[in-house]
Structure 1
């Protein structure tokens, strides 16, 4: 059965975007390497929220050049009126009945490969529901001071983590944790 990984890049002070909502400053330090590329290649489906999905100026572009050419499950209350372009590998399913159903559908689509969760709210919902097996946290070498926090809205939830591995590139560090 597919493993569920919530992956995000954050600033050293814990923000996943800047005060304008942009990710550009965080991704400026991103340097893919063999381990990161292998993890991406082992992705069988992606679950993300509508806000993350619509960060693309043209959602049809996912079918043409998105890094994950796999089924996408978009968690939303209101699907788009026009269905975005798809291809033989990348399909788009809007899920309106909760993160549990989105993850269930993504696991079925992924088979033995991993399900990657992208986006703060979607990841937080999945973590609260006990659906996340691993956290992948890339730490960008920047202090943003404000923005959206990675682990906002977890209330009094206490989750024990076990470090699995650390990947260092020239400019950033990625830490992988198992949710215990």
Structure 2
């Protein structure tokens, strides 16, 4: 059965975007290697929030060149008026029934492959609901000083983690944790 992996890239000081809401400074250091490519290749579905989904100017571009060519499940209060372009591998489902429904649908679609959760708010919701099996945190070599914090709204939630592995590239480190 699919594992649920919340994956994010953050600055050394814990921000997942800058003061303008941009991810570009964080992704400037992204260098996939064989291990990262294998993890990405074992992704069977993606759950993300509407803000993450619309972070690209043209949502039709997902069908043409998104790194995960798998079914996407977008958590939202209101689906867009126009459904974005899809292809034979990448379908887009807008889920309005909450994080549990999005995870359930995506797991069914992923089969034996992993389900990746993207986005700070969506990941926090999944973590609070006890739906995350692993955290994958890529640390970009930059201090942003402000922006959206990775673990901003977890309130009094205390979760124990166990380090599974680390992956180093020339510019960044990824740390994988199992949620206990």
Q: Give the TM-score of the pair, scaled to structure 1.
A: 0.99
1: CA distance between counterparts of 2:158 and 2:166? 22
1:163 to 2:163 alignment: yes
Structure 2: gaps spanning 5 or more residues: none
User: What is aligned with 1:154?
Assistant: 154
Structure 2: how far apart are the matches of 1:133 and 1:168?
22
Q: CA deviation at 1:94?
A: 0.2
**Residue-pair matches, total:** 180
Measure the CA separation in 1 of the matches of 2:93 and 2:22: 25
Distance (Å, rounded) in 1 between the aligned partners of 2:132 and 2:87:
28
Distance 1:40 1:68 in 2: 7
Is 1:54 the counterpart of 2:54? The answer is: yes
Deviation at 1:56, TM superposition (A): 1.1
Question: 1:40 Cα shift?
Answer: 0.3
Would you say 1:42 and 2:8 are equivalent positions?
no
Counting only pairs closer than 5 Å after superposition, residues 1-180 of structure 1 correspond to structure 2 as 1-180=1-180
Shift of 1:109: 0.0
RMSD: 0.4
1:111-146 C-alpha deviation (Å, 9 max, x unpaired): 000000000000000000000000000000111010
> 2:61, 2:118 → 1: CA distance?
17
- Residue aligned with 1:149, SS: coil
Give the 4+ runs in structure 1 shifted more than 4 A: none
Where structure 1 has 5 or more consecutive residues not aligned to the other structure, the ranges are: none
In 1: Cα distance, 2:147 partner to 2:81 partner: 30
Report the Cα distance in structure 2 between the residues aligned to 1:133 and 1:46, rounded to whole angstroms: 14
